[in-house]
Amino acid sequence: MPVQDWFLSGAERDNPDSAIPAWTEGNLAEPLIHGAAYFDRLTAEIQALDEGDHVFFTDWRGDPDERMRDGGPTIAELLGDAARRGVVVKGLVWRSHLDRFTYSQEENRHLGREVGEAGGEVLLDHRVRRGGSHHQKLVVLRHPGRPERDVAFAGGIDLCHSRRDDAEHRGDPQAVRMARAYGDNPPWHDVQLAVRGPVVEALDLTFRERWTDPAPLDQYGPISTVRDRLRGADLHAEPLPPQPPDPPPCGPHRIQVLRTYPAMKPAYSFARLGEQSVARGYTKAIERARRLIYLEDQYLWSREVATLFADALRDNPDLHLIAVVPRHPDVDGRLALPPNQVGREQAVALCRAVAPDRVHVYDVENHVGTPVYVHAKVCVVDDVWCSVGSDNFNRRSWTHDSELSCAVLDDTPDEREPLDPAGLGDGARRFARDLRLALLREHLDRPPGGDDDLLDPASAIRAVDEAANTLRDWHAGDRRGPRPPGRLVPHETGRLPWHQRLWAVPAYRLVYDPDGRAWRDRRAGTW
């Protein structure tokens, strides 16, 4: 399998300001499905760190009192205890907008204060484009002198409330407020990758580039900076310890680290014209799709992103798209809801106009019928290439905010039929296929090994459609008889009335899904 057919080359990444490698070989990736599994693993790994080891992390939101396990520790206790043991703890958390706009400025500030009092350093980072955010969710653990123990975690899961859910989807006892349909403890579906091997060095470099960027942390202006100083905020990054040796090869996975950084002023020193390797990496993989694109995504917005899928569906008559999305946006309200609805409506309509019988969109509920909020950002193409990250399928994630994703190609062929579903000679690969099957087994209430009919794309689509339609019909029939197995139901999108579209469409494009590309790329229509 020619790796260059799927991964971006260094030239295709088109960011000469960064030393990040085009991709790395000899890695071992493991999907951690659900926040409870991720938090448990992360806790064990951090508790095993010794004096002189490193914990580096970036996050969108950090809640210091979020419990990592039922009996604790909290995230602040976990990181604080590590710092008191002599572990080097450094974090970059988005400074965030004000709490009164349902963001997390105070929570992020409190995490930094509590870890700082223990000897660590967590900075509030607002080096973002106007209206943007730092959305990367990354933790890097290094062991100088013992590089074989190095591990990193990257994906969609923040270190905050509502994320610690499991396969039962009863929700995190420590919940954030969301739309009423999700209840008091919103069920939450998410995925994080644990990776070992040389890729850890690339992820370490991603953190170091942001930490050492000379631009001021606070881009709000002098009044905001003075207020932060009065509150005792740490506004200056202390030097990092030297970067340890690369971890040795340990597995069969080639991993490409994909990122988004916007074009902005002051420019990032490591991406002076921005970086859109997330958008370019997805574009290259999706253009190679022939049979099945399976994705899970929080948004699935943007005509520009939907056009990529629509073109692939138009060019390949055997190609199907399965998308798992939230049933409702995470917010209610006459002003907030319509702009959240219009983006997905446009994207799904565009794809269905090209291939009405080959676009399959579902949402998820738990066994008592409460919708599950799908926060995962996963894509599997023809059981060959897959990606797990922080980026959603929308213009904001592909151009405007900071994002981080890991694309995986497994050197191990999968020996189950069909051996080469796309027919391009690449062959199905073990990691990508196992990830898709694990997610579908959960959504369909299948036991381990109960997935023979999910291997082939055609039979998988029939099985998913049948289960989702049966559950929908059971609800429509007043829930008579036993509840059918499965958690997927067909997702319904409706067109907003014209009077709402008049203001919701421009609000969506300007505020909810802005464009962070340089003007040269906007004019050319390229990423």
What CATH code is carried by the domain that includes residue 325?
3.30.870.10
Note the pLDDT of residue 521.
84
Residue 98 has pLDDT above 80, yes or no: no
Note the pLDDT of residue 272.
95
Residue 103 has pLDDT above 60, yes or no: no
Do 186 and 156 share a structural domain?
yes
219 pLDDT band (50/70/90 cuts)?
low
Note the pLDDT of residue 102.
45
Q: What share of the chain is helix, strand, coil (3-state, %, to 5)?
A: 35, 20, 45
Do 65 and 136 share a structural domain?
yes
Residue 488 has pLDDT above 60, yes or no: yes
Rounded Cα gap, residues 317 and 354, in angstroms: 10
Note the pLDDT of residue 53.
98
Note the pLDDT of residue 92.
96
Asked if residue 63 is part of any domain, the answer here is yes
For tokens 């350093």, the residue is: 121
Rounded Cα gap, residues 109 and 283, in angstroms: 37
Say if residues 40 and 14 touch (Cβ distance below 8 Å).
Answer: no
For residues 253-261, average pLDDT: 98
Do 280 and 257 share a structural domain?
no
Do 244 and 309 share a structural domain?
no
For residues 117-126, average pLDDT: 94
Do 213 and 100 share a structural domain?
yes
97 pLDDT band (50/70/90 cuts)?
very low
Residue 69 has pLDDT above 70, yes or no: yes
Note the pLDDT of residue 302.
87
Asked if residue 512 is part of any domain, the answer here is no
259 pLDDT band (50/70/90 cuts)?
very high
Residue 294 has pLDDT above 70, yes or no: yes
411 pLDDT band (50/70/90 cuts)?
very high
Residue 224 has pLDDT above 80, yes or no: no
Asked if residue 143 is part of any domain, the answer here is yes
Residue 100 has pLDDT above 50, yes or no: no
φ, ψ of residue 397 in degrees (nearest 5): -70, -30
Asked if residue 210 is part of any domain, the answer here is yes
- Domain boundary residue, one of 416, 442, 462: 462
16-20, 80-84, 93-97, 291-295: segment of lowest average pLDDT: 93-97
Do 285 and 309 share a structural domain?
yes
Asked if residue 507 is part of any domain, the answer here is no
229 pLDDT band (50/70/90 cuts)?
low
**Where is pLDDT greater, at 224 or 242?**
242
Write the pLDDT tens digit of every residue in 300-327: 988 889 999 999 999 999 999 999 999 9
112, two tokens:
């930094």
Do 355 and 411 share a structural domain?
yes
Note the pLDDT of residue 231.
57
Residue 398 has pLDDT above 70, yes or no: yes
Do 223 and 366 share a structural domain?
no
Q: At what angle do helices 498-507 and 337-354 cross, to 10 degrees?
A: 100
Do 234 and 294 share a structural domain?
no
Note the pLDDT of residue 522.
84
Do 388 and 330 share a structural domain?
yes
In 73-198, which residue ranges form alpha helices assigned H by DSSP?
75-84, 105-117
Do 294 and 246 share a structural domain?
no
For residues 346-369, average pLDDT: 96
Residue 87 has pLDDT above 70, yes or no: yes
**Where is pLDDT greater, at 236 or 231?**
236
For residues 509-527, average pLDDT: 87
- Domain boundary residue, one of 233, 261, 289: 261
Rounded Cα gap, residues 6 and 256, in angstroms: 10
Asked if residue 186 is part of any domain, the answer here is yes
Percent pLDDT > 70 in the chain is 94
Asked if residue 217 is part of any domain, the answer here is yes
106 pLDDT band (50/70/90 cuts)?
low
- Domain boundary residue, one of 418, 440, 462: 462
What range defines the domain where residue 82 resides?
Answer: 22-261
Asked if residue 304 is part of any domain, the answer here is yes
Residue 168 has pLDDT above 50, yes or no: yes
Residue 48 has pLDDT above 50, yes or no: yes
Average pLDDT, rounded, for the chain: 93
Domain count within the chain: 2
Residue 349 has pLDDT above 50, yes or no: yes
Question: Which residues have C-beta within 8 Å of that of residue 483, sequence separation ≥ 6?
Answer: 367, 471, 474
Question: Which residues have C-beta within 8 Å of that of residue 105, sequence separation ≥ 6?
Answer: 95, 96, 97, 98, 99
Percent pLDDT > 90 in the chain is 83
Do 245 and 155 share a structural domain?
yes
